[in-house]
Amino acid sequence: MADVVTEQHGVWTIPLGPDHLPYQFVRLRRRFPGKDGYTVVVVDMAKLMAGFTHQDALPPPSKWPAPLLHQTISYLNPHARGGVPHRMPFVHIEESAVQQPRLFGLLGNSTQNVPVVSFIAGRHRARYMEYAGACAMPVEVSKLDAELLRKHCGADESMYQRAEAGTQLLFNTTVPAHRG
């Protein structure tokens, strides 16, 4: 299994860490295939979860109740459901202005825009996949939010391999129109 996210025929395969024993990868598909207002952005898991606004409300899976943990492990199993992939998480992102003191407040404050990520669907999937060792994963996002998500959370192109020409994805770097 490759250590990068791959996409083939609309199915994304996301590798998990080598210590994840139940299975070594998860498969996801678009939530809104063919809808013009949405796109897929491959995100860096650490950056995405750092911007997740409700991390305190959703503890790491190691602190989940056993039934929820087992249900999530079973739910994401790529060999269950006849191999039909699950829908990828759907996110929203915005920037929030945060004031920070400069030189302990002696030079006044500086304003910094920080990303605030909200999950419309898929927060448990994303939280578990981060816990299971995924470094990057695809998420679906409104095209209006895509550039901002790419700017703050976009995975480096080296974390992803595209198998089909014509798939439009956003990375932290420029993606060629066709890879041969």
Q: Give the residue extent of every domain in the chain.
A: 5-170
- pLDDT single digits (tens) 118-132: 999 999 999 999 999
DSSP annotation of 165 reads: T
Q: Which residues of the chain have pLDDT under 50?
A: 1, 163-180
Q: Extract the runs of DSSP E, i.e. beta strands, from the chain.
A: 5-8, 11-15, 25-29, 38-44, 86-87, 90-101, 109-121, 136-142, 160-162, 169-170
Model pLDDT, residue 160: 66
Question: What's the distance, CA 180 to chain centroid?
Answer: 26
Question: What's the distance, CA 177 to chain centroid?
Answer: 22
What pairs with residue 100 in β-bridges?
Answer: 110
Residue 123 and residue 52 in contact, taking contact as beta carbons nearer than 8 Å: yes
Model pLDDT, residue 113: 79
> Considering the entire predicted model, what is its pTM?
0.79
Query: Hey, what are 95's tokens?
Result: 């920037």
